[in-house]
Structure 1
Amino acid sequence: MDCRRVLVASLLAIQALGRLVFSPSELTQTEYDFVIVGVGTAGSVLASRLSEDPSVSVLAIEAGGSNEDVLATIAPFLAVSLPGTSVDWNYTTPPIEGYNNRTLGYTRGYGLGGSSVLNLLTWNRGSIDLWNRWASLTGDSGWSWDAMEPYWLKVDNFVSQNATGKYDPLAHGYSGEVNTSLPGWPTELDPLVCKASAELGGRFAWTQDHNSGTFLGTSYMQSAIGGGERSSAATAYLYPVIERANLDVLVNTRVAKLVEGSSKSGTLSFTSAVLSQGPEDEGVTINAAKEVILSAGVFGTPQILQLSGIGAKSSIENLGISTIVDLPDVGEFLKDHPAVAAYYLVNSNNTFDSLLRNSTLFADTLAEWQATRSGRFVDSPANTYTFLRWPEESDIYAIHGDPSSGETSGHMEVIFVDGFAQFGPLAQPAEGSFLTLLAGVVSPTTNGSVTLNTTNIFDQPTIAPDFIASEFDQATMVQVLKDVETFMNASAWKDFIIGPYGDFANATTDALKLQFVRKYGSNINHPVGTARMSPREASWGVLDAELLVKGTSGLRVVDASVFPTIPESHTQAPVYMVAERAVDLIKAKHLLS
């Protein structure tokens, strides 16, 4: 499939919508009430909700275009083909010491809907302890589990039918914006995972629904899928309202920097944005009467802040940028979930390996999905997973403490994939059937950073995740591989498993397991925290608890960069929830309906 050709076609087709604007010169005004920078997961929510009030004007600015007609963004199974394409920012890290100085590609969504358009769809809201921890860290009870429940229900639209016993009906919304569901295509792994979970019990015991608040144990994966199609921020929030007269969506445009001025309160106001469509573009300035809201993502948001003179003085002045607001935490405290894929050879002809090697079978399966929205392509490649805490008897707590949010949160995760899933540098084998176990740390203690390379918004910043640099992270990666072995040694797998594949088969000691991680480790693409929120008077953090940039007025951040800690789960749903609460904070401040 030529994704670039489809992308161009979709851009041409969508012009008929009328409110999509392709150049700043096409804008009919230079001031809006709200200017949203980035129309990804959070930005789509903001554009939709703020434009509900017809008395306000909203401009939403997106660096990419529309991916509405790109087939791989619609069929859930094809999501794995999207990294490295035109819908991906195609970020690259510097050499990572913990991974034997290998560089990694960093997948982030480029275009309307952002990463909700190319992620692997998993739908987790995090644990009770996660949200209560955020409330405690920020000094704002509005971020607690109970207070955030209405926003979860506002987002979630659980559409699975005939799923009795596989989920908790009380843990879901049924009239939210994003369609969510249990797996729609059962794989041969599903009953084996269930049997192994029942046999082992304890840390591996079955949990009916992680979204009930305890993110531990083995369960079916829930995903942002409805009717066999991806449900993204673009399809759920943005496209249904894009023709509103008070909403302009400007694509193929970046914000080069924000421009400061004085507000009535005497603080620095950052309510002007310089728009640019190319490195040599002189730029067009757009003003916000009420707020500029940065939703440019975990990498884009700190880059724009730093280019605007908001950040660590010692860092940005090295590039000749005058420091306007000295906030050392901008771009710091980058966290993500490190992971490594362990492979097993299996006795089966039903894994998706044959699908990837047989073009006729692939075409037939795709045709089935296109005609009926059924078959293997209705799901991402995984149906089940488990979240685990370190064993209670471990001395890890005495040595390193507990970095997780609490007893309802895990330290590690294992995802069960029915085929050879290429996470990391190991290529798809030419023959054989496989089971992939993607094993990772969900409570990492290592921090990375996002810093400027140049003063040009069109140059990528330096994205430096310091994976497995801490002793806790290293020990937890080794432990999760031991847990993989324990789980796969359950009798449920006796007739299915041939044995571990490749270097994992030889990783028989803790030291060899760590070597294996260093050689093959990657990440799960859950970056957060580069503009974290904190109490208003705290010396740490970038934002206050209402997501306003400290030391400024008229400037707010709403995306995963605001997370004060990393969720011990997948991160998509918490971004939606944060965005929905941000809308209420914004509307209350400006007395909007």
Structure 2
Amino acid sequence: MKAASLLSALVTSAVFFGPALAITLTEPSQLSGKTYDYVIVGAGNAGLVIANRLTENPATTVLVLEAGISDQNQIPVMAPFLGPSVTPDTPYDWNYTVVAQPGLDNRTYPYPRGRLLGGSSSANYMIHQYGTNEDWNRVAAVSSDQGWSWNNMKQYIKRHEKIVPPSDGHNTTDQLIPSLHSFTGELQISLPIGNQTTDPFVIATTSQLKEFPYNEDTSGINNNLLGIGWAQSSMDDGLRASSSSSYLASANSRPNLTVMINAMVIKLLSTGSTNGLKAFRNVQFADARTKTVTPAFQVQARKEVILSAGSVGTPQILQLSGIGAPADLAPLHIPVLINSPQVGRNMQDHPLLPNIFTVSGNGSLDDTLRNASAVGAAISQWASSKTGFIANNVINQLGFARLNSTLLKGFTDPAAGPTSPHYEMIFANFWLDPVVTVPATGNFFTILTALLTPTSRGSVKIHSTNPFVAPLIDPNMLATDFDIHTITESVKAIKRFAAAPAWSNYITGAFGTLNGTTDAQLAAHARLHTSTVFHPTSTASMTATSKSPSSGVVNSDLTVKGAAGLRIVDLSVLPFIPSCHPQGPAYMLAERAADLIKASA
């Protein structure tokens, strides 16, 4: 049994009651009205930021439609270490599967997307960063809008981020630079709690090998992502911090905010035209539990519909609504209301490759995670006191690196700039391979590597007019020479890392195909084990406002090209994937979007 499956099976051994929230509607019949100033589709990272900020004005009415369930009292969601058990194949997940991936030996794999309040912020592994200033400056350049540059975007850190002390009270000197951060925002961010056996080995390696310098702050706020340091996670006092537990919780008492779960948006309906543009201010939805669709399940926005359904859900809804490429819609006999050929194109994601090492002794968590009684006791401890390893994220350190000029020779550098990383290293003191089941015996140390600057481009495309049929999701992993070259070089790098003197009494060898020594063998290892960190972006990409829908999907203010009353606020609008874990960029994007929406009202 995979560790995540064991964790899922055992969460019922403890009882947990989360913080009380205001009433969230569960039935369409509970709606008191059908017209709101704004209708937000999706209660994820971005959607709940927008809901919070717009309802700061008590005269503004907002309805949020969420297809999934409530996150309240859900132990796997709230306990930080249980993050891997939230997805896939659970009630909290959309339970997607990618199409066969030629770059991965034609394998398929699950494609997790959060389907509950908080969206993927309630289902991810909580790592929180902002990317480099080069990432944001590239968005500004592509969109011809300096409002997206880091000099402007960094102002939102103050209102977004709330650094909180780690719940174990340890000394955090040299683990984070306080002057860079905010202590007054909405989302709680903290450092790891509890020591892991490998902590001193990881940190010691940074002083033993110049290739892997120490990074005192891994947020990227000071444009320094390179190096290895302590993970910053969206958690507080042994609990996950999501957009639901933060932004929604602080706005839930406002009478001008309505949130309805179990409401799956199936299409947007045209409502005539505004200033010569086709308007889309009507939203049709279904009861997600019964898949019931009736004409009565419609709501209207006086001002705007805001799509925050994510890089899979947003293009699916657009295409079902007749906004997309004629080549995609014509075979399904969907009338093309807006010819927008880039909808669902340009998909980018971070390939994730687990690299497993065998270790001596019993210092890893593997024996504990195989033991149902031990895991059950740990979950019970967490439920009663929010302590123990279940109260911590699954990792304590991570790192970022670039290919040197020699390794880049022959390639155009796809990074946003010369200080932006090409790949990531993630350190886990147990077997962490979502593709392969943990062996019945043995102890392991995992160094996962993620390709942060993929040049492969994929797509999301509907293949049925039935909204309950998942779209074809094709991240097109490791499809270019640069991508396979870089992920292979990342494997060589972590093997050098694991050979540092600090590991001499702990790591005993590489496991399985990681034993390969040639480029071809390591490339085969990557193709066999790579899947996703589930960081999809760019399927409704932003370009300059003056450009036509043929160049992109949204303008620099995130309004949909060729449409009126319709805006997209989620990671699908970024023209390039950030060189970091993207939940921080999603929040920052939404904070600025809220200002743009208010300014246009």
TM range (shorter): over 0.9
Distance 2:136 2:434 in 1: 30
Q: Deviations over 1:499-555 (max 9, x none)?
A: 1112212x1110011111111111111110101111012241100111000001110
Distance 2:573 2:497 in 1: 36
**Kindly tell me: are residues 508 and 323 of structure 1, through their superposed partners in 2, closer, same or farther at Cα, counting changes over 3 Å?**
same
RMSD: 1.9
Residue 385 of structure 2 is aligned to residue 376 of structure 1 = no
Q: In the alignment, which residue of structure 1 is the partner of 2:138?
A: 133
Residue 297 of structure 2 is aligned to residue 294 of structure 1 = no
Paired amino acid for 1:54: P
Deviation at 1:366, TM superposition (A): 2.0
Matches within 5 A, 1:248-267: 248-267=258-277
Q: Which consecutive residues of structure 1, in runs of 5 or more, have no partner in the other structure?
A: none
> Secondary structure, in 3 states, of the residue corresponding to 1:65?
coil
> Secondary structure, in 3 states, of the residue corresponding to 1:261?
coil
Matches within 5 A, 1:410-429: 410-424=421-435, 426-429=436-439
> Secondary structure, in 3 states, of the residue corresponding to 2:315?
helix
Distance 1:356 1:569 in 2: 28
Equivalent residues of 2:177, 2:217 under 8 A apart = yes
Distance 2:54 2:23 in 1: 16
Matches within 5 A, 1:567-582: 567-582=578-593
Tell me how many residue pairs correspond in the alignment: 581
> Secondary structure, in 3 states, of the residue corresponding to 1:20?
coil
Residue 86 of structure 2 is aligned to residue 74 of structure 1 = no
> Secondary structure, in 3 states, of the residue corresponding to 1:21?
coil
Deviation at 1:2, TM superposition (A): 6.7
Q: In the alignment, which residue of structure 2 is the partner of 1:518?
A: 527
Paired amino acid for 2:35: E
Distance 1:268 1:518 in 2: 45
Residue 156 of structure 2 is aligned to residue 148 of structure 1 = no
What is the identity percentage for the equivalent residue pairs of Structure 1 and Structure 2?
38
Paired amino acid for 2:382: W
Residue 357 of structure 2 is aligned to residue 344 of structure 1 = yes
Residue 51 of structure 2, aligned match among 41, 47, 50: 47
Paired amino acid for 2:307: L
Q: In the alignment, which residue of structure 1 is the partner of 2:4?
A: none
Paired amino acid for 2:198: L
Deviation at 1:10, TM superposition (A): 10
**Kindly tell me: are residues 438 and 17 of structure 1, through their superposed partners in 2, closer, same or farther at Cα, counting changes over 3 Å?**
closer
Deviation at 1:18, TM superposition (A): 5.9
Distance 1:193 1:3 in 2: 32
> Secondary structure, in 3 states, of the residue corresponding to 1:332?
coil
Equivalent residues of 1:19, 1:248 under 8 A apart = no
Distance 2:393 2:521 in 1: 31
Distance 1:427 1:388 in 2: 29
Paired amino acid for 1:230: R
Distance 1:317 1:405 in 2: 36
Equivalent residues of 1:19, 1:244 under 8 A apart = no
Q: Which consecutive residues of structure 2, in runs of 5 or more, have no partner in the other structure?
A: 1-6
> Secondary structure, in 3 states, of the residue corresponding to 1:517?
helix
**Kindly tell me: are residues 48 and 333 of structure 1, through their superposed partners in 2, closer, same or farther at Cα, counting changes over 3 Å?**
same
Paired amino acid for 2:58: P
**Kindly tell me: are residues 41 and 215 of structure 1, through their superposed partners in 2, closer, same or farther at Cα, counting changes over 3 Å?**
same
Q: In the alignment, which residue of structure 1 is the partner of 2:3?
A: none
Distance 1:113 1:339 in 2: 23
Residue 201 of structure 2 is aligned to residue 192 of structure 1 = yes
| Greater than 6 Å deviation, 4+ residue runs | 1-6
Equivalent residues of 1:351, 1:434 under 8 A apart = yes
Matches within 5 A, 1:363-512: 363-394=376-407, 396=408, 398-424=409-435, 426-505=436-515, 507-512=516-521
Q: In the alignment, which residue of structure 2 is the partner of 1:215?
A: 225
Q: In the alignment, which residue of structure 2 is the partner of 1:95?
A: 100
Paired amino acid for 1:185: G
Equivalent residues of 1:156, 1:179 under 8 A apart = yes
Residue 57 of structure 2 is aligned to residue 57 of structure 1 = no
Distance 1:386 1:183 in 2: 15
TM-score using structure 1 length? 0.95
Matches within 5 A, 1:235-246: 235-246=245-256
Q: In the alignment, which residue of structure 1 is the partner of 2:293?
A: 281
Distance 1:264 1:516 in 2: 54
Paired amino acid for 2:182: G
Distance 1:584 1:434 in 2: 47
Residue 355 of structure 2 is aligned to residue 321 of structure 1 = no
Deviation at 1:243, TM superposition (A): 3.2
Q: In the alignment, which residue of structure 2 is the partner of 1:233?
A: 243
Equivalent residues of 2:8, 2:85 under 8 A apart = no
Deviation at 1:568, TM superposition (A): 0.8
Q: In the alignment, which residue of structure 2 is the partner of 1:533?
A: 542
